[in-house]
Amino acid sequence: MPTTKPKTTPTITVAREAGACYGVNRALDLVEKAASEATGPVRTLGPLIHNPAVVSELETRGVTVASSPDEFSGGTLVLRTHGVTPIEEERARAAAERVIDATCPFVIRAHRAAEKLDSEGYQVIVLGEAGHPEVMGTVGHAPEAIVVEGAADLDGVELRGKVGVVVQTTQSRARLRELVSELIGRAGEVRVVDTICEATSERQASASALASEVDVMVVIGGRNSANTCRLAEICSGRCGRVHHIEGAAELEASWFDGAQAIGVTAGASTPQRQIDVVCSRVAELSGGMLEVPGTSSAEGK
C-alpha cells in the first residue's frame, strides 16, 4: 500500500534588513511627542511618511495633514520626512506658531549637496522620480536642476561643461552607475555626490538575497512609497511570485499554495508592528512557521 508523503511545513523568513529606518523612527518620535505636548492643533505638511496606515493612526491622535502652509494658522506644523522646498519652509514658519523639522537627515544632505553644486556653477542633475516630494524638495535648492529617472532620460538633453549629480535617497546604485556611465564623455567634468541612504541599499540587498531563495515574497509598505516600490521591483527580478501589500488584510491564502519558503520584507516607512501583524497572518494562511534569526525556527505567532 503506497504511503502518503507528509506535507512539509512552509518556512516564513523576514529579510535581515527590513522596515522603518532611522529617519522614519525619528519623525514618528517627534510627532508623537508633539501630539502629547501641544495644546493647539498639530498638522504635518504633507503625509509625514508614505505609509497610509500610519498616517491614519496619527489622525486618530489628532495629527492631521495639511497639503500646503496656506491651510494652517497657528498651532504646530511638522515638516514631513521627505522634506520641503525652501519657499514652503519659509511659508510654514510664517503660518505656524511652532515648526518641527522632521526631514530625514539623509534628505537634508541631498538638499545641501544640490545647493552647493548649483552655487559652484555645476549643471545639477537629480536622479529620482519626477514629482516625488523628496525630489521636489531637492530641486527647490537648485531650481534649474534637471530631473531624470534613468540614463535614457538624458536623450536630447544639452549638457554643460560641468555636471553635478545628486540622487534621491531611495534610488539604487545600479541606476546611478548607468547614469554616470552615460554622462562620462558627454560632459567635461562630472561630479557625483552619492546621496543614496545606506539603509535603502541594505534593504535592497537583503530583499534581493532573500527573494532568490523563496517561492513567494511579500513586500510590506505604502504603494506611494518609492523605496517600497523599489523593493517590490527588485524582488520581482528574483522571485516569480511577489505581492506588494499595505497591510495584512490584503493577504490571500491562495498566494501561498505549494510554497515551501515564504519571504517577507518591508519598506523604510513600515514600523515593526506592521511587519509582526503581517507575519502572523501569513503564518495563519499558509500554515507556515516563522523563522527567528539565531534559532532553528519558531511557530508563526
Instruction: Express each pLDDT in 256-275 by its tens digit.
Output: 999 999 999 999 999 999 99
Query: In which region does residue 185 sit, left (phi positive, over 0), alpha (psi from -120 to 50) or beta (all else)?
Result: left
* pLDDT band per the 50, 70, 90 thresholds, residue 70: confident
Q: Say whether domain 11-19+199-299 belongs to CATH 3.40.1010.20.
A: yes
Across the range 143-162, mean pLDDT stands at 94
* pLDDT band per the 50, 70, 90 thresholds, residue 211: very high
Say yes or no to pLDDT of 296 above 50.
no
Say yes or no to pLDDT of 299 above 70.
no
Say yes or no to pLDDT of 234 above 90.
yes
The ranges assigned to domains in the chain are 11-19+199-299, 22-103, 106-196
**Long-range Cβ contacts of 127-131 (<8 Å, 24+ apart):** 127/165, 127/166, 127/167, 127/168, 127/171, 127/175, 127/176, 127/179, 128/167, 128/168, 128/171, 129/168, 129/226
pLDDT tens-digit profile of 156-191? 899 999 999 999 998 988 999 999 999 998 999 999
Name the CATH topology of 22-103.
Answer: Rossmann fold (3.40.50)
Q: Does residue 2 or residue 101 have the better pLDDT?
A: 101
Of 17, 134, 182, 246, catalytic = 134
pLDDT at residue 233 in the model: 94
Same fold, 11-19+199-299 and 22-103: no
Question: 245 by DSSP, 3-state: which?
Answer: strand
Say yes or no to pLDDT of 293 above 90.
no
Q: What is the mean pLDDT of the chain?
A: 91
pLDDT at residue 185 in the model: 86
Across the range 233-249, mean pLDDT stands at 96
Q: Which residues contact 105 (CB under 8 A, 6 or more apart)?
A: 22, 23, 26
pLDDT at residue 69 in the model: 85
Residue 273: other Cβ atoms inside 10 A: 13
Give the position of cell 508563526.
300
The architecture that CATH gives domain 106-196 is: 3-Layer(aba) Sandwich (3.40)
- Residue 105: exposure state from Cβ atoms within 10 A (0-12, 13-18, ≥19): exposed
Say yes or no to pLDDT of 29 above 60.
yes
pLDDT at residue 172 in the model: 87
Quick one: cell of 13? 523568513
Across the range 237-252, mean pLDDT stands at 96
pLDDT at residue 291 in the model: 85
Say yes or no to pLDDT of 298 above 70.
no
Tell me, yes or no, if 57 is annotated catalytic.
no
Question: 39 by DSSP, 3-state: which?
Answer: coil
Say yes or no to pLDDT of 75 above 60.
yes
Beta strand 298-299 with 289-290: parallel, antiparallel or unpaired? antiparallel
Q: Which residues contact 284 (CB under 8 A, 6 or more apart)?
A: 300
* pLDDT band per the 50, 70, 90 thresholds, residue 1: very low
Contact in structure between 266 and 1 (CB atoms under 8 Å): no
Q: Quick one: what percent of the chain has pLDDT higher than 90?
A: 84
Indicate the range of 4-8, 18-22, 47-51, 142-146 predicted with least confidence.
4-8
